[in-house]
Chain A
Amino acid sequence: MAILRIIIIFFLFQVKSYSLIEVDITRGNLNPLPIAVSPLATDKDSKQKFKNEVKVDDLGAEISKVVENNLITSGLFNPLPKDSFLQEPDIAHFKPRFEDWKLIKAQALITGKVEYIDEKLRVEFRMWDVLAAKEIMALAFTTVPSNWRRVGHIITDKVYERLTGEKGYFDTRIIYVAEEGPKTQRIKKLAIMDQDGFNTKYLTLGNELVLTPRFNPTNQMVTYLSYFRNLPRVYLLDIETGIQEVVGDFPGMTFAPRFSPDGKKIIMSFATGGNSDIYTMDLENRVVERITNHPSIDTSPSYSPDGKYICFNSDRSGYQQIYIMNSDGSNVRRISFGRGLYGTPVWSPRGDLIAFTKLHSGKFYIGVMRTDGEGERLLTENFYQEAPSWSPNGRVLVFYRETKTDDKGEGFSAKLWSIDLTGYNERQVPTKTDASDPSWSSLLSN
């Protein structure tokens, strides 16, 4: 036993001391790491079988494109053009000629192969430290061929984790509201897609207004607001089965729902007689608890990841500001004191920050502050944008932004955008239609 332990420690030590590449994600990354993503090698026979089954000509190459696109959007990596690669994919995967990859200035190299075995897709991939001329990661897994895009996302997560030291966020989905039609009669549907914009599915038909879908952080349940039968109420939806139900039995509008971090409660606002307060409902025993009791508007509640605190939005000072309280509603204190109005506070999954929407002098900002309200940083400014949602690793925010599309400032389009916590790397997230109210899922696999 003692000998084994020593060997393990030695091995870990060695990997750490010889690994030259690492990516710092705590600052805006202006020099993305040059990385070569070799197409995953596929033998002739497998290629044909994949082509028949999932209608993709070269599945190995397509999976590597998924990885490449993820690496680009992360802003931390610079995937090198494939036409500069000198080595064939299958040989590179077996044994890279490091001097060839050094020549094109790659610091890391990803190689792999896909095979069709027993109607399954078997993937093997390796990551190589080009400068140190050594393998730094190897992994293999098997799945159904139709899952091939997820294979690309899982590979990216492993690469990201190995090089940044933090969990990735690529094998995830985003639920959002798909929008169409004129602003005065907007049609809204619940939609879900992979975080890179593929595999869009619509979950409602657009017959009733739907707003603010949010993922359960522990499974694939969703809570959202629906105007079904003109009764705006919070609903719970199982996106695998499509089964949904109203949350609680409230004699008025319930809205602004979110799950507790353990996924067992829904926290939301209930409005009656001109006053909105915050309530929770336990999903197991259906017990409803009133958390705030104040004549002002209390809404947009969000739990801290340990479940001990709740941040929320209240106008008890006269205008919208951000407050924090204990999860039983005690010890309420205001934390936003900057100029302007503050809304939609969302607690980071890392626990240290609260993201928010700020309105000031006719502009909307997405920002973050520490949980004591100090250290406010505004990440992005625009005419209309709101509703930040954290990536599961707490490094990226997705939100929605409306832009005017004609000279009169009348036509408009709503799109999803993402931005790093650093304020760098702002990107539009591709959606098939106009989109709003994004919510990022937790990692699907681990």
Chain B
Amino acid sequence: MTLNKIFKNTLILISACLLLSACATQKTVTTDGSQMQGDVYTGTDTVKELAPGVPDRVFFATNESILTTASRETLRKQAEYLRKNSSMNIVLEGHADERGTREYNLALGERRANAAKDYLMTYGISASRISVISYGKERPVDSGSNTLAWSKNRRSVTVKAN
């Protein structure tokens, strides 16, 4: 009973905070909708560029490693850039959100990074140029515990290795 109550209160607090922060930053976001499609992050908040116009990361749905249309578009741009810079090697860093056990999430991060690797390879990028590392839920980019934060954390980030 008390646990339930605490849970409800916390929920109210969290949603209040979300509303407040939304007002403070003058965003017109009333839900997470404009930055998420389904539960895949589509915003640009944490995204960096590998090169001008080439986003460095792709995002995933909960417990999934399937690439969305937008992710495939990002990876096509990355492949094009890597073909032009043929001496460049990359590391794909796979991540999961915090809602999973540590060991399973390590495996899930590895699976996500490999999904990105496989797609880059279909555009002619040699496997020898790509290494993969999974951080599981150990390196979130957003420390929050809400659907938007989790969606930013489910990612595979392409990092230059040399």
Contact = CB atoms under 8 A, between A and B. Distances in A.
A408 B14 CA distance: 6
A119 to B, nearest CB: 46
B110 A276 contact: yes
B99 interface: yes
Interface string B119-155: 0000000000000111100111111111000000000
A271 to B, nearest CB: 4
Contacts of B14: 408-409
B140 A184 contact: yes
B104 A343 contact: yes
Given A313-B104, A409-B10, A253 B110 contact: yes
Contacts of B104: 297, 299-300, 313, 315, 320, 343
A410 B134 contact: no
Interface residues of B, number: 37
B17 A408 contact: yes
B106 A255 contact: yes
Contact of B111 (A232, A255, A275): A275
B82 interface: no
A211 to B, nearest CB: 6
A255 B102 CA distance: 10
- Among A256, A274, A407, A408, chain B packs the most CB atoms within 10 A around the CB of A274
A409 B142 CA distance: 12
B145 A253 contact: no
Interface string A224-266: 0100001010000000000000000000110110000000000
B107 A269 contact: yes
Interface residues of A, number: 46
Given A271-B106, A273-B114, A276-B111, 16 more contacts: A209-B138, A225-B106, A252-B110, A253-B110, A274-B113, A297-B108, A300-B103, A313-B103, A319-B63, A341-B100, A344-B101, A344-B103, A387-B102, A408-B14, A408-B144, A409-B144
A357 B144 contact: no
B65 interface: yes
B79 to A, nearest CB: 18
B101 A386 contact: yes
A183 interface: yes
B1 interface: no
B98 interface: yes
- Among A297, A300, A315, A362, chain B packs the most CB atoms within 10 A around the CB of A297
A297 B107 contact: yes
A185 B138 CA distance: 8
Contacts of B107: 255, 269, 271, 276, 297, 299
Interface of B: 3, 10, 13-14, 17, 21, 63, 65, 98-104, 106-108, 110-111, 113-115, 118, 132-135, 138-146
B118 to A, nearest CB: 7
A359 B137 CA distance: 15
Contacts of B118: 274
B9 to A, nearest CB: 10
12 contacts: A184-B143, A252-B132, A253-B106, A273-B114, A276-B110, A297-B111, A344-B103, A357-B101, A386-B102, A408-B14, A408-B144, A409-B14
A212 B114 contact: no
Contact of B103 (A256, A359, A381): A256
Contacts of A313: 101, 103-104
A196 interface: no
- Among A252, A271, A357, chain B packs the most CB atoms within 10 A around the CB of A271
B101 A343 contact: yes
A383 B9 CA distance: 14
A383 B145 CA distance: 10
